[in-house]
Structure 1
Amino acid sequence: MKRTLLAAAALAAAVPADAFWLGEFYCYLEERREEQNAWPAQFVEQDRNATATPFDIMIRNGWRRQNLLGSHHFNADCTELTQAGKLRVQWILTQAPPEHRQVFVERSLDADITQNRIATINDFSTQVVNDGMTPQVTETNLVSDGRPAVTVDFVNTQFRENMPTPTLPAPTTGGVSE
């Protein structure tokens, strides 16, 4: 009798057995299966961003190249914009999309020349922009591929003047074999 009471007391004091351990294990397996089936969805946004980033960089570099003013846009002492420079700055500040209205200046070997160019653009931009907003003018290491219009005109004029007159080749006297 003592044994029976002791066994009953031990069973009553013990933590009740978990009859659903298999169910919990099944839930764990089901969660892992759902994660595996949805695996790529977790990284789709990061992949899209990584794919779009190079295109964003190319677009920014394209606008930087488009809005670049080189040495040929300024007079010899960099105190005044040439006509081409004025037209370029005016286009940038009035026609370019608002988020891309930033002027880039080709950096010179002399820092004073670069600062004179930036000051010249700032002075001219106050005439163009009427809303009181000063455009952002930034120096860059990018080199302008352009050249003065006088040089281009000279090359084209020389090409036209030295072009040979078009002539047909002289007929040959050789007979045609039959």
Structure 2
Amino acid sequence: MRKLTFPLALMIAGAIQGCAAGPSFFGHTDKTSCFEPGSDEWWAEKALLPPGERQKCKKGKVWPARPRSTEPRQQFSHTYYSEHYWPLPYVCQDRAAVRDVMDMQVSLGWQEETTIYDRHFDTVSNSLTRAGELHLERIVHFVPPERCAVYVQSTHDAGLDAVRMEIVQAAVASISNGRNDIPVSIRECQQNSRAASEVESINTMYNGSIPSPRLSSAGASAGASGSTP
């Protein structure tokens, strides 16, 4: 029991002093810092040390093999703090990274929804088709104000892009009753869907290629009405 008295006294004195390296009256020094151990500046400097084990070179090998900090170890109180509040603050960085990716996906999704594609223009006059006008009306009147921006798909032809930009800007001014807070810009993209006329043509060809026997919608409805008592 007597052997433990002196170490316990040192630990108590160090705890009272508040410095993990021991109380100041023992005349200790910290070779890794230019501040007086136990001072506010010293603690502020030590608070910046990263948590976790340290990488060391021993007997020609690096321990541990995975990358780790080579800075001085944390003070005991800081180690306790890191373990007590783990995974903070690092989980905040992970969550922020996930939110950034999600925000980017949302932003790109709104760009897709507010883009006037090549299919929305007449191939001869470059004026907006009826589908293009309806799409532009939806953008102006129903898209949230913070997302309300009109993009025009680039044709990689500066002259043609300028013509389409002018047409869309005039249409926006007409639809929005003179609002000037809706930006119109060229966007480098490709359309990932088909025009409604193309979808209708595909559906018509599909229905026309169904082999016999087949029931027409008119015959089916007539049969259903005739079987009703």
Q: TM-score, normalised by structure 2?
A: 0.56
- Of residues 43-52 and 85-94 in structure 1, the stretch that sits farther from structure 2 once superposed is 43-52
Q: Secondary structure at the match of 2:152?
A: strand
Q: Secondary structure at the match of 2:89?
A: helix
Shift of 1:106: 1.1
User: 1:5 matched to which residue of 2?
Assistant: none
Shift of 1:122: 0.5
User: 1:102 matched to which residue of 2?
Assistant: 149
Residue 115 of structure 1 pairs with residue 195 of structure 2: no
The structure with higher relative contact order (CA 8 Å, sep 6+) is: 1
The percent identity for this pair of structures is 24
* Pick aligned residue for 2:134 from 77, 87, 105: 87
CA deviation digits over 1:66-91, x for unaligned, max 9?
12221110112454100000000000
User: 1:163 matched to which residue of 2?
Assistant: 210
Greater Cα radius of gyration, structure 1 or 2: 1
User: 2:172 matched to which residue of 1?
Assistant: 125
User: 1:7 matched to which residue of 2?
Assistant: none
2:134 corresponds to which letter in structure 1?
A: L
Q: How many pairs does the alignment contain?
A: 148
* Pick aligned residue for 1:142 from 189, 192, 195: 189
Structure-2 change in CA distance of 1:34 and 1:80 (3 Å): same
Q: Structure 2 unaligned segments of length 5 or more: list them.
A: 1-11, 23-37, 39-74, 215-229
How far, CA to CA, are the matches of 2:197 and 2:13 in structure 1?
88
* Pick aligned residue for 2:81 from 32, 35, 39: 35
User: 2:107 matched to which residue of 1?
Assistant: 60
CA deviation digits over 1:3-34, x for unaligned, max 9?
xxxxxxxxxxxxxxxxx973323596564245
Shift of 1:62: 1.1
Q: What RMSD, in angstroms, separates the aligned Cα atoms of the two structures?
A: 2.5
User: 2:198 matched to which residue of 1?
Assistant: 151
- Of residues 139-148 and 105-114 in structure 1, the stretch that sits farther from structure 2 once superposed is 139-148
User: 2:116 matched to which residue of 1?
Assistant: 69
How far, CA to CA, are the matches of 2:78 and 2:146 in structure 1?
46
Structure-2 change in CA distance of 1:39 and 1:160 (3 Å): closer
